[in-house]
Structure 1
Amino acid sequence: MKKRNLLILLMALLPWLSLPFIGSKTFKRFLPGTFFMSIYLLVEGSVAEKRNWWSFSSSLKPNVLAELPLIFGPFFIGSLWIFKFTYGKFMSYFVTNLIVDAFFTIVMLNWFKKIKYVTLRKFTRLQLSLLFLVKSISMYGFQFLYEKVFSGRFKPDHQPERVQKPLFAVKR
């Protein structure tokens, strides 16, 4: 049990070592979307626990949601990295999330089951993958709307800025 808790703690903390390489501008820019989805995941974890969608055999701390190390470790930092490299290019974002989600549902779930950390109960791997897909699209949509409404600065990274021409030009 102590070995499992150490592995879970390392899984939560190691992604944070990459934070200095993300850059403060990227962190500040994509924090709203990532934070929004992290809060959503906390709520979802409570619902999943009550409805027995999946179960965690133990938590690092009693009375603390067992998903917390996953949410504020690899998910949080991973989302910032994915946004950094794919935001503004939705198909790249979509494909990257498909790959990451497939890795999680195939490889990581097997490992979690092996170390007796989490098992699926009323969810299949396919249902979990679809849920991940919906959440990733929702997070992208939230970030997009946040930038449109609050900062007004959304410009896809792959398109040059357009200069607006005046409606009537005065010739001299």
Structure 2
Amino acid sequence: MKQIILWALLILPWMSLFLLKMDTVRRYMPVALFMTIIHTLAYQAAYHYGWWKEAGSSLFGWDKVVPIPWVYGAYLVIVIWVFHFTFGKFWVYLTVNILLDGVFMYVVYPIWQRIGLVSSESTLPTIAIVAMMIGFAIIIYVYQLWQDEVFKQPKAKHIND
């Protein structure tokens, strides 16, 4: 059963992207990939410094440090959906992120612990992890602002200008 849940966390979110316009996916994929890099580095740091362990969320056997189904599946796609609905409205974006991060860490994660998807080994308080996630959310919002500016289409010049 655990393997089915892990595979679903990896595959089903990607399928939801078919509900979005390709331009939307193309616009927000870089920020989602950037967040994936940040998350991968955070999991590497957590492993190195002993902040937490994700024993139990391994799908392939070699993914003992970073939970592939969550970081490269569900979370990556959630970033795209959150940006789709909230980008350009920072306070809405921040509120949604605080709510999602809080619900994940205080509701979803304990359920996953009970069914053995994740371990309960952590040296950081839950609020510190939520704060880290919110910090990451702010970083990627700034990144998306920059990304939009860099790839903004230049306005066509009129002959009379």
**Contact persistence 2:59–2:68 (CA under 8 A):** no
1:27 corresponds to 2:25: yes
2:102 match: secondary structure: helix
Q: CA RMSD in A?
A: 1.4
User: What is the match of residue 132 of structure 2?
Assistant: 131
Distance 1:66 1:93 in 2: 26
User: What is the match of residue 96 of structure 2?
Assistant: 96
Structure 1 residue 120, shift from structure 2 partner: 4.3
> For each residue in 1:73-98, what CA deviation from the matched residue of structure 2 results, as whole angstroms up to 9, or x when unmatched?
21111110110011001011011111
> For each residue in 1:96-121, what CA deviation from the matched residue of structure 2 results, as whole angstroms up to 9, or x when unmatched?
11111111011111112102222241
User: What is the match of residue 159 of structure 2?
Assistant: none
Gaps of 5+ in 2: 154-161
Distance 2:116 2:94 in 1: 30
User: What is the match of residue 69 of structure 1?
Assistant: 69
- Report the identity percentage: 23
User: What is the match of residue 37 of structure 1?
Assistant: 35
**Contact persistence 1:37–1:139 (CA under 8 A):** yes
User: What is the match of residue 49 of structure 1?
Assistant: 47
1:54 match: secondary structure: coil
Of structures 1 and 2, the larger Rg is shown by: 1
TM-score normalized with structure 1 length: 0.82
User: What is the match of residue 115 of structure 1?
Assistant: 115
Q: Which residue identity lines up with residue 78 of structure 2 in the other structure?
A: G
In the TM superposition, what are the counterparts of 1:1-20 in structure 2 within 5 Å?
3-20=1-18
TM-score normalized with structure 2 length: 0.87
1:47 match: secondary structure: helix
Structure 1 residue 25, shift from structure 2 partner: 0.6
**Contact persistence 1:42–1:68 (CA under 8 A):** no
**Contact persistence 1:15–1:74 (CA under 8 A):** yes
